[in-house]
Amino acid sequence: MKIAKDAVVSFTFNIRETGKTEVLAESEDGVSVYLHGHNNIFSAIETALEGKAKDDVLTATLSPEEAYGELQVGEPKRVPRKHITTKGKLTVGQVVGLNTTEGVQEATIVKVGLKTVDLDINHPLAGKSLDFEITVTDVRAASGEEIAHGHVHGDGGHHH
What dotted CATH number matches 77-120? 2.40.10.330
Please write the tens of the pLDDT for every residue from 20-57: 999 999 987 789 999 999 999 999 999 999 999 999 99
CATH class of 7-68+126-149: alpha beta
- Report the distance separating Cα 146 and Cα 88, nearest Å: 37
Whether 125 contacts 71, CB under 8 Å: no
The pTM of the whole model exceeds 0.85? no
In the chain, where the domains are located: 7-68+126-149, 77-120
Residue 159 has pLDDT above 60, yes or no: no
- Domains 7-68+126-149 and 77-120 belong to one CATH topology: no
pLDDT-based confidence at residue 160 (cuts at 50, 70, 90): low
Q: What is the spatial distance between Cα 29 and Cα 22, in angstroms, rounded to a whole number? A: 19
Is the pLDDT at 16 greater than 60? The verdict is yes
